[in-house]
Amino acid sequence: MSIILKTPEEIAEMRIACRLAAEVLDYITPFVKPGVSTGEIDRLCSDYMTKVQHTTSATLNYAPPGYPPYPASICTSLNHQVCHGIPGPKPLKKDDILNIDVTVITPNGFYGDTSRMFIVGGGAILAKRLCQVTFECMWLGIAQVRPGAHLGDIGHAIQRHAEGNGFSVVREFCGHGIGRRFHEEPQVLHYGRQGTGAELRPGMIFTIEPMVNTGKAAISELPDGWTIVTRDRSLSAQWEHTILVTEDGAEVLSLSAACQPPPGLTGGALASATRNAIAALPPAPLS
Ligand code: MF3
Ligand code: CO
Ligand code: CO
């Protein structure tokens, strides 16, 4: 097994898949409010994918070895839930923080994967800081991506920023290669040492999706077989983009008209190119 280098044709397909995943998040954003349940958010996203986009959800009935089939079209991870939260009937309330993770499959069979944090109706100070620092962690990781860099450079940048802000990085889940399959090589750890791990090469496509906790890094799995929570019940946040390694750096594939632009602190050519790319995208169709 090795890391698949995508052809120009496959890269073009992945641009479409990742943009569609991001547009599901754009579409759902105005619905994420106090009183709405995550089950309702799942139904809305499912309808948007199947009826408007003609994509399918990669998560619905997803059943890797040892797991029961995942029962929903998106993942919704609330407050102390780290990832893989299952949508349900409980209404959101003010100051909840929610990760919505969308993975679509296009009619041509390509996967696009992205997630964002939503702060419901205002937000408490610690929750807002956690979401912002985790967003910065993702972008600091993205800013490491260029040919010749190593996977460990990404993990190191993320870990340093999370821990430097008094937070911790979840170890058990990582970013992943993606393409014609949901999860491919490599594993993209969100912690590590500079200069270690596989060397990045043009044509690689993988996600960067750090999970950061306000308390300790330890996690547990709920009896539903999917939902991951912080063991100390501290808050957890996650952001995810799908990234292409280009000849001279990185291209963020999961951009959309309403996605949050990179924070100032990543600086440089990548951040300005990304901001320009976001500005040049026409808005997602309204339904
Ligand atoms: N989208 C998640 C990821 O970023 C995986 C979700 S798998 C599910 O890799 F089954 F929980 F949906
Ligand atoms: Co995801
Ligand atoms: Co992913």
Q: HSE-up of 133 (CA within 13 Å, CB side)?
A: 25
* CATH class held by domain 8-280: alpha beta
CA–CA gap between residue 204 and residue 250 (Å, rounded): 10
Report the atom number in ligand 1 closest to the C-alpha of 102: 1
Place of tokens 């169709």: 285
Contacts of 257 (CB under 8 A, 6+ apart): 23, 26, 278, 281, 282, 283, 284
Contacts of 220 (CB under 8 A, 6+ apart): 228, 229, 231
Note the pLDDT of residue 265.
81
What percentage of the chain carries pLDDT values higher than 70?
98
CB 215 within 8 A of CB 234: yes
Note the pLDDT of residue 283.
75
CA–CA gap between residue 77 and residue 282 (Å, rounded): 29
Mean of the per-residue pLDDT values of the chain: 97
With 90 as the cut, is the pLDDT of residue 219 above it?
Answer: yes
Report the atom number in ligand 1 closest to the C-alpha of 58: 12
Q: Nearest-CA neighbor of 212 among 133, 283, 122, 111?
A: 133
Contacts of 108 (CB under 8 A, 6+ apart): 13
CA–CA gap between residue 214 and residue 232 (Å, rounded): 10
- Tens of pLDDT along 170-195? 999 999 999 999 999 999 999 999 99
Note the pLDDT of residue 282.
84
Give the mean pLDDT of 106-112: 98
Tokens of 236: 């957890």
Mutational test site, ligand 1, from 38, 45, 83, max ligand atoms within 8 Å of CB: 83
CA–CA gap between residue 16 and residue 10 (Å, rounded): 10
DSSP conformation class of 37: B
- Tens of pLDDT along 12-61? 999 999 999 999 999 999 999 999 999 999 999 999 999 999 999 999 99
Q: What is the pTM of this model?
A: 0.98
C-alpha of residue 115 to centroid of ligand 3, in Å = 8
Would you give the end-to-end CA distance of the chain in angstroms? Answer: 42
Note the pLDDT of residue 87.
99
CB 233 within 8 A of CB 104: no
Give the mean pLDDT of 239-262: 98
Answer whether 75 contacts ligand 1 (Cβ < 6 A).
yes
Note the pLDDT of residue 266.
82
Answer whether 209 contacts ligand 1 (Cβ < 6 A).
yes
Answer whether 42 contacts ligand 1 (Cβ < 6 A).
no
Question: Which of 98-112, 200-214, 273-287 is the least confident region?
Answer: 273-287
CA–CA gap between residue 248 and residue 24 (Å, rounded): 30
Report the atom number in ligand 1 closest to the C-alpha of 64: 10
Note the pLDDT of residue 286.
55
C-alpha of residue 102 to centroid of ligand 3, in Å = 9
Beta strand pairing status for 111-119 and 175-177? unpaired
Note the pLDDT of residue 267.
82
Report the atom number in ligand 1 closest to the C-alpha of 67: 10
DSSP conformation class of 265: G
CA–CA gap between residue 87 and residue 285 (Å, rounded): 25
CA–CA gap between residue 11 and residue 31 (Å, rounded): 32
CA–CA gap between residue 245 and residue 202 (Å, rounded): 5
- 3-state DSSP percent of the chain in helix, strand and coil, to 5: 30, 25, 45
